[in-house]
Chains A and B, each alone.
Chain A
Amino acid sequence: MAHLRATLILATWGLLLLLGTPGLDFLDASSLRSPDAQVAWRARVPEPWAGVGIALAQANRAWRLPAVAALTPLQRPFRVSQEWFLYRDGPSKVRRLEVRVDGDLLHRSADPAYPWLADVLRNRRIRPVVESTCGADAGPNWRGLARLVVARARLARPDAKSVELACTVAAFPGTDARIHRRYVATEPAWDAAPA
């Protein structure tokens, strides 16, 4: 029994390590695959580390990724995929969401002067949608976000006639922001559309 338990624990640890191998879980099948990518890598990293990196990427492609793909169905019922490359980098630009109702600025991201709906828009489950809406390429969920903001705006101001979501972008520290994307919803339909 002790040997069986020891074997099973070893297998479990091996599985965890295989699925989330530190340093490899960040790489996909195309990482360091093309000759151009390998030349660029060798220009950045000295030998022998460059060669080690290319060999690891190849092993990842040939062995680890197929094993992960085969094991993925087992992880899905509990949604426990093991990829842990968290908070790799900060944003390259300062992006903010602004909400205007009838032209009045009510919300601006991380601006205590315009806090309306901040608790909702900064909730950890909503924030990724705000980020994707205001990112370089708007994600598909901007319609749902706009619908939520319009509904809350109409609750707060029943006589409102228009609601605008504007995404601003600026170089750090963010003092010269410009609007790079706008969505506007107006009565009576209140369907938000890019403006």
Chain B
Amino acid sequence: MRTVWTRWVAFSGRDMDARPLALVRILACVAILADLLQVAHLGLLDVIFRPAAVGGLSALQDDANVLVALSPTWGGTVAYVVTLVCLGLAALGVWTRPALVVGLLAYAQLGHLYPPGDRAIDRILRTVLLVLVASGAHRRLALTGARADRVPAWPADTVRVLLVIVYLSAGLAKLQQQPGWLALGGTPVLYRVMTDPLAAHVDPVVAAGWFPVLRVLGWGTIALELSAPLVFTRFAPLWAIAGASMHLGIALTMDLGMFSWGMLALYPILLARLFERSTRR
């Protein structure tokens, strides 16, 4: 028991190349910023970030919605601007830790204000950025602050744990609700996912001829999600290639906004071994 604990203390206390964490900080913030700027570009600020009672879209808000309780008309706009400014600063590496904390609180307010549009990817990125607050992600690729080449590795490990939980949950829930994901015949589940006109843009008539390929891709999806614990092994970069292929496929066939890009923003952590190797050379 003592040996196990000693090993755990050594494992949790080791350090790593600072670049993967810094890249995740930048890419995750950029994914959120791009997503939020698109809302403004489409002229949807007043529609999405205002309650229905004052002209917005959503009739329901979460009661943790402090800013909107203060000002139903302007609370959402304030949260939007604060999120943009703070996550912009965090991406640049300026006052990173306070910017992340304030930015994430404001970003959460946007979610409380408009629950239909606050999806799993928003929660994943908020959780990861919250972990990064306690990390050395601000010590590289940042405009200000003291630079460090090596930082504690536990935040990267924590993000790996989160990724394992997310992918395993997704895979197990698929099988629990719809065993057809592994079926040898019938309509592949992936066909219905990829041809749903409300979420994807693959023509269901055309894709009806792709059943064998879609069935294999469905099996591949389950295999990938259930093999997520590999991110803790030396096979992590290979797993990352397969995961990136899945997310690029989703981005090509479906209209899920920043989902794929937000997930891919976390992948530098899975390539940490490659960064270590490049440093040793």
A contact patch SS: loop
Q: Is B59 at the interface (CB under 8 A from chain A)?
A: yes
B contact patch SS: helix
Q: Is A187 at the interface (CB under 8 A from chain B)?
A: no
Please tell me which stretch of B91-99, B161-169, B237-245, B265-273 contacts chain A, meaning at least 4 of its Cβ atoms lie within 8 angstroms of it: B161-169
CA A175 to CA B206, docked complex, whole Å: 12
Does A120 contact B44, Cβ atoms closer than 8 Å? yes
Q: How far is the CB of A132 from chain B (nearest CB, A)?
A: 7
Q: Name B205's contact: one of A80, A83, A174 (CB within 8 Å).
A: A174
CB neighbors of B among A1-41 (8 A) = 2-3, 5-6, 9-10, 12-13, 16-17, 20-23, 25-26
Interface string of B147-166 (1 = CB under 8 A from A): 00000001001100110011
Q: Name A79's contact: one of B112, B174, B178, B193 (CB within 8 Å).
A: B112
Residues of A contacting B258 with CB < 8 Å? 124
Residues of A contacting B56 with CB < 8 Å? 144
Please tell me which stretch of B15-23, B67-75, B80-88, B113-121 contacts chain A, meaning at least 4 of its Cβ atoms lie within 8 angstroms of it: B113-121
Q: Is A134 at the interface (CB under 8 A from chain B)?
A: yes
Residues of A contacting B112 with CB < 8 Å? 79
Residues of A contacting B193 with CB < 8 Å? 87, 89-90
- Sorting the interface of chain B by its residue count into under 10, 10 to 19, 20 to 34 or 35 or more gives 35 or more
- Sorting the interface of chain A by its residue count into under 10, 10 to 19, 20 to 34 or 35 or more gives 35 or more
Does B117 contact A82, Cβ atoms closer than 8 Å? no
Q: How far is the CB of B22 from chain A (nearest CB, A)?
A: 20
Given A88-B178, A89-B178, A92-B192, is A79 in contact with B200 using a C-beta cutoff of 8 Å?
no
Q: Name A125's contact: one of B5, B39, B207 (CB within 8 Å).
A: B39
Q: List 9 A-B contacts (CB under 8 A).
A: A12-B158, A80-B108, A82-B165, A88-B173, A94-B196, A94-B197, A124-B255, A141-B52, A144-B56
* Residues of B participating in the A interface, judged by any CB pair closer than 8 Å: 5, 8-9, 12-13, 35, 38-39, 42, 44, 47-48, 52, 55-60, 62, 64, 104-105, 107-108, 111-112, 114, 116-120, 122-124, 126-127, 130, 154, 157-158, 161-162, 165-166, 168-174, 176-178, 187, 189-201, 203-205, 207-208, 255-259
